[in-house]
Amino acid sequence: MQKKKIILFLLMFTLVFSSTQVIAKQQTKDKKVPIRNGTVKIVRDDYGVPHIYAKSTEDLYRAYGYVMAKDRLFQLVMFRRGNEGQTAAIFGNKYLEHDMRMRRDGYSDREIKEMISQMDPFSQKVISNFADGITKYVKEALKNPDHLLSKEFQKYDVTPKPWTDVDVLRLYMASMTVFMDQEQELNNASILAELELQHGPEKAKKMFDDIFPINNPASPTSIMKENSEQNQQAGKAKVKQLSKGVTEAAQEISERRKDFVTASHELGLPLKVGSNAMIVSDEKSESGNAMVFGGPQVGLTAPGFMYEVGLHAPGIDIEGSSFIGYPFIMFGTTNKFAFTSTAGYGNQVDIFKEKLNPNNPHQYKFKGKWVDMTKRVETFNVQTDNGDTKRVKKTFYKTVHGPVIYLDEENQTAYSKSWAFRGTEGQSWSAYVKSNWANNLNQFAKAAREFTMSLNWFYADKQGDIAYFHVGQYPKRDPQLDFRLPTPGTGQYEWDGFKNTKNNPSIINPEIGFVANWNNKPDPNWHNGELSFNWGADHRVQQYMDQAKNAGKLTLEEINDINYHASLVNLRTKWFKPYLLDVLEENIEKDPRYKEIYHYLKDWNNLNEDLNEDGYYDSPAVTLFEAWWSNVPDNLFKSDLGKSYGNLKENIDHRYGCSLCLRVFRGDNAQNPVGYGWLDGKSREQIIIKSLNQALNDLEKEYDDSMDLWLTKGRTTTFGAQSLIGVPHGLGSDIPIPVMNRGSENHYVELTKKGPEGFNITPPGQIGFVSKDGTVHQHYDDQIKMYANWKFKPILFTKQDVKTHAESVHYLRFTKNKGGKKN
């Protein structure tokens, strides 16, 4: 079990930081140079992480933008182009659908500038200074491109441009919106319509309600009691919300989304975000200090989506990481408190069904009148196969609710999309900045209430306090509606403002002594509409909750053990392995194979481990259980759902759990029994035995050897198997690592009386620069093997810690131009 132990791998480099540029006079770490206004000290530690020391806020954020651009300029440029909808100009028609979607749902420069003007003055300075820092590096790099521009710029003939505050906010807005975007309401309507065609309205309604329950009271919740002051409405479904042609609309939109997702992943823009977190109070901690663990799940790419930094200036001392292009820290610590976040998966997106004028498909009925859609024409440059550029024009339409995502002239219907946080993204950006500058829990909580997008925020401080906030702005919907389906857009069912964010689920110092979250339900009163299938009795967060409950006082190392277990466990073993063992025990004499299977499963720790490093998981139980489970959902639902099953399987048996399977298995003992008779006269035992025998027949054909050799080859992955933009060009890494259901970054922080202590890992490495000859920087992938082997590096916070681990010291000087602005 050596991999489970924390090994703080302290690798000391003796080489001076091998920069491709000279930003100022380099000093050895023994010499002291006074830091004056306009001069910033940048200390790189032995993993290339920059620790920035400035005399002013302006210089701090300029330097932050500068070093981020130095380390990851091509990645920044690609994210900007991706969020602006300008990737097809470089990579061709394959990315045109991605570009169209980003432009359709995005904002104009004027709209973003207006949003910035509404920010508080401090946030305006931060965003402007950060952009100035990126621009400073861009200008220097353009003067010496062979040495200061990463290889990808030459290969793809891309020239970086100066950055503005609009670029910074758009990158944030577009990426965060994509994380929280979905069109599930339309898919749900299509599914319900298909079920009605197959089974009739009554039976279809029972099936639909089982698969998409309005609320599942058995769902594990981060707040383990009914704590929110304001119940989330569930909707009474008294309005007809299905429309003719909805199946075709959902199918086309689903295909477009698949193309968009594929292109986004190839561009290095993660969509399937997750993240897990745990905060532990002083009473649950062995040391008496509060602790924070976080694991943002944003995929494995090279360069990574995370960027680590230390920021130190009057009024702020903070260390941690954030998404690339963000000038604030999302996962980190100050000398007073530590914090992290996860995706909230709240119900913030509604699809509106618009009724079109039969004489004019670009007019829609709203409050008794035909209203013209807003029309906008966008031009896209697309690179052709022969290297030329063609221009493609696309007309986008918008209703009072938002951009039109589908227009069905034949059925006189259109669908438009509304985000509850639309127009408030600048406010959320500012809220994150404020959280970084908070001095106590009250100030952090105030920032949390100002954040309008759906996240979970976590806090722990030196006083031993912990706090959890489900953040986001949620609309007041008409209670006559079924919130799982599209809303009629004719004006009778509009949002009636927004709920008070102070009443969102939150808790301070829970009696149990900890809060755990893995994108699960925040508290029992909270619903999430069309996404309800994600929150059920079988949920992956139990891997954290169960272990934390059963543990005594916790240490950081023990929290890491919990994370190790959760990262490698087969999630279906929590509830379904005991059922399988019971059936095997009861039928042990009926088949000689059952006794052998029973002992393998009984002895298995439920983890997909390869401790002997032979390339195979250590126990045949992995093979047996996975083969058995692959048949269970099919045998439970396929015959009843018919042709709808293919589209529904990922809603039933998904990455969080299979709660519907558990409800069927529990029968009348379920906290919310199913309404439809899925077993259809069969017993749970019959389904289990049938699924097992199917698995055994298949495995005996695959394996000729005895059962103890039925081993599954260990699954591996790589960082950037496809390059940043989906084309092999020397980026990425071919180092195989075990597949783990784990954060792309992990951080563990203890708030001691002296200050924060802990360890983290931010693979693949800090610096994404590739020289013109293809040589990658020494800190490009130096954390991959550590990540694979569950090793960590220390979090460096104090000046002394940074100095001890310093690899290089640089000074960056900002001079004023004639207009008085620093450059």
Point out the residues that are catalytic.
275
CB atoms within 10 A of CB 1: 9
CB–CB of 176/343 below 8 Å? no
Q: Is 387 exposed, middle or buried (0-12, 13-18, 19+ CB in 10 A)?
A: exposed
Which residue type occupies 410? E
E-only strand ranges, 657-709: none
Residue 257: its H or E element: helix 246-266
What stretch of H or E contains 396?
A: strand 389-398
Residue 89 to residue 98: CA distance in whole angstroms? 12
CA gyration radius for the chain?
27
How far does Cα 734 stand from its chain's mean position? 24
**Among candidate residues 238, 672, 212, the one with its CA nearest the CA of residue 477:** 238
Per-residue b or e along 740-773, where b marks 16 or more CB atoms closer than 10 Å to that residue's CB: bbbbbbbbbbbbeeebbbbbbbbbbbbbbbbbee
Q: What is the largest CA-CA distance in the chain?
A: 91
Q: Which of 253, 251, 271 is nearest to 262 (CA)?
A: 271
Any idea which residue has 């309604």 for tokens?
Answer: 205
Who contacts 823 (Cβ-Cβ below 8 Å, separation ≥6)?
A: 132, 136, 814, 815, 816, 817
Tell me the sheet residues that pair with 331: 321
Question: In angstroms, what CA-CA distances link 633 with 99, 641, 679, 690, 697?
Answer: 37, 11, 11, 12, 18
